[in-house]
Chains A and B, each alone.
Chain A
């Protein structure tokens, strides 16, 4: 039991530690000053030294990430439900979603700052919502609509109502798609929040911390803030994975790799 869990973790740990060791040692050989790309040791040192600052910044950015993620997910799911149920909705909302997704953040961020105010969290949350909703929408729609014809025919033979079909067939079918999109969305949320911060607003957030330190050639401190952002992304990914496992108990043994 324990050895099985260990076998699950061990490769990841080995690769991770090995990679860090390689990074540290190769820099010792190539560039002892560790200027542009500092070795992991100095990044961790900078992380420790500036922990207070990084913690406060992570909390501020994290708030935007989580609230934006939730907002985007809700929007994406609702949009997907409408589109999968009503053909008219599909014809109008899907193109709208695609065009919204095509607008780059660089264009939207200053506009939102002007609309909602520089210090208002809404301007950054809006960026995150827009980034997150699209993958959730697309994947969930596919999950809701790409159902086997056999299952639908079976339900029809039971004289099931439309809602019953949705509840018993479409939702379970959509869940793997939804959770996959949630995992994608969580990293997009972190990226979106950090980039949106670059365009103005409070300075005690991860975006300014990274960019300003880099601008002052304080690369170890910049990487330390990047590390905080990565940790945030990983945590969200793990939480999504946990939700997935909890809500789909029947799929626990369904993943087969290299079988």
Chain B
């Protein structure tokens, strides 16, 4: 054929050659594990803050790198549903509260809880001490704020356990993710996490005294004490992939191992961990993040059976509340949580001499500054 004259054919052959080169270049650059880190994406449930300190610490201290993972942390937000992000493949693992993982699971997303990091619930219902709300029963006839989005189930079950009907005996109000409505008097009782919004009140100046609000100014209802607490932050993974992809399962074990090592670091090296969180750019300031880290450590340690292990009694309580509240239409099917991955991770951590029970953890006293600075 005549190359010079047949321009059409020449053009096609050149394109084909370029295409072949590009394909060859692309395919040769990935896989081959030796020396290459496996990229992993972790979807957080909320914005960057000390609630997720262990993961940030694991990145900063090279724990993930040490097990061959290159972890990117994806910040969460109001409209981000970790379960959906996980299921769609946009993230390899997700942090989610147990009910917020179980509901999508019932809707058909096949995800599973591979490590129950937080051993206790942190949700409170906060009111001012002079409002007379000391127990759940006192909420009758009051305006009770809650965030919805799956955060309100402990409250609803708690109300019912005191014989109140959430629809008629209280005025449920959609609360923003702050404490302004409580402070302004718009609502009588506000939902708060002990590690976050509760501290936001204590970082606000009390107009009556000119000083910060003190814990004695507030009255709290703790759902752990009421008995309707539900399990919260856990690491979730894609159940289908765990079964079909052995590399993914291996990654899961390594991820849990390095993450728990990160949490142990945050317990033993409190100040360094707080600095790591601050470097990650959270919205609220230093004293707030230190308070939060302190409270988060309280939620994890001690973990009598080892961090990340499921507390069967609390799981059952969570399921009971969920089904009786109609959040789940039936108890979750088998496989909602798995213990083998975290057991393997704990075994290698214990072999390494890392304390995964944390009996020695002692809560610190953190001084809050105005605005959480």
Contact = CB atoms under 8 A, between A and B. Distances in A.
A200 B174 contact: yes
Contacts of B100: 216
A119 B174 CA distance: 9
B175 interface: yes
A168 interface: no
Given A215-B149, A216-B150, A119 B171 contact: yes
Contacts of B174: 118, 197, 200-203, 208
Nearest to A215: B149
Contacts of A204: 167, 172
Contact of B148 (A114, A119, A208, A217): A208
A114 B186 CA distance: 9
A118 B172 contact: no
A208 B148 CA distance: 8
B94 interface: no
B173 A212 contact: no
Interface string B227-259: 000000000000000000000000000000000
Contact of B79 (A114, A200, A215, A218): A215
Interface string A17-50: 0000000000000000101000000000000000
Contacts of A35: 107-109
A219 B175 CA distance: 22
Contacts, number: 65
B84 interface: yes
Contacts of A199: 176
Interface string B174-211: 11100011001011000000000000000000000000
B107 A218 contact: yes
A153 B175 CA distance: 60
A117 interface: yes
A203 B186 contact: no
A217 B186 contact: no
Interface in A193-241: 197, 199-204, 208, 211-212, 215-219
A211 to B, nearest CB: 8
Given A35-B107, A212-B148, A217 B84 contact: yes
Contacts of A118: 173-174, 181, 186-187
Nearest to B186: A118
Interface in B110-161: 143, 146, 148-150
Interface of B: 79, 81, 83-84, 100, 103-104, 107-109, 143, 146, 148-150, 167, 171-176, 180-181, 184, 186-187
B109 A217 contact: yes
Contacts of B104: 216-217
Nearest to A117: B186
B173 A218 contact: no
Given A215-B79, A216-B149, A217-B109, A119 B173 contact: yes
B148 A203 contact: yes
18 contacts: A35-B107, A118-B173, A118-B187, A119-B171, A197-B174, A203-B146, A203-B148, A203-B173, A211-B149, A212-B148, A212-B150, A215-B79, A215-B149, A216-B81, A216-B100, A216-B104, A217-B81, A218-B103
Given A33-B108, A118-B186, A203-B148, A216 B103 contact: yes
A219 B103 CA distance: 11
Interface residues of A, number: 22
A217 B173 contact: no
Contacts of B84: 217
Nearest to A33: B108
A94 to B, nearest CB: 35
A215 B150 contact: yes
Nearest to B104: A217
B171 A217 contact: no
Given A202-B172, A217-B109, 8 more contacts: A204-B167, A212-B148, A212-B150, A215-B81, A216-B81, A216-B100, A217-B84, A218-B107
Contacts of A114: 180, 184
A119 B146 CA distance: 13
Contacts of B83: 217
Contacts of B146: 203
Contacts of B184: 114
B173 A202 contact: yes
Contacts of B148: 203, 208, 211-212, 215
Contacts of A212: 148-150
Return the 4 tightest CB-CB contacts between A and B, nearest first. Answer: A217-B104, A215-B149, A118-B186, A212-B148
A217 B149 CA distance: 10
A80 to B, nearest CB: 35
A65 to B, nearest CB: 18
Contacts of A33: 108
Contacts of A216: 81, 100, 103-104, 149-150
A119 B145 CA distance: 11
Nearest to B108: A33
* Most A Cβ at <10 Å: residue of B148, B174, B175: B174
Contacts of B187: 118
B48 to A, nearest CB: 20
Contacts of B81: 215-217
A117 B187 CA distance: 10
Nearest to B99: A216
A93 B173 CA distance: 37
Contacts of A197: 174
B189 to A, nearest CB: 13
A204 B170 CA distance: 12
Contacts of B172: 202-204
Contacts of B186: 117-119
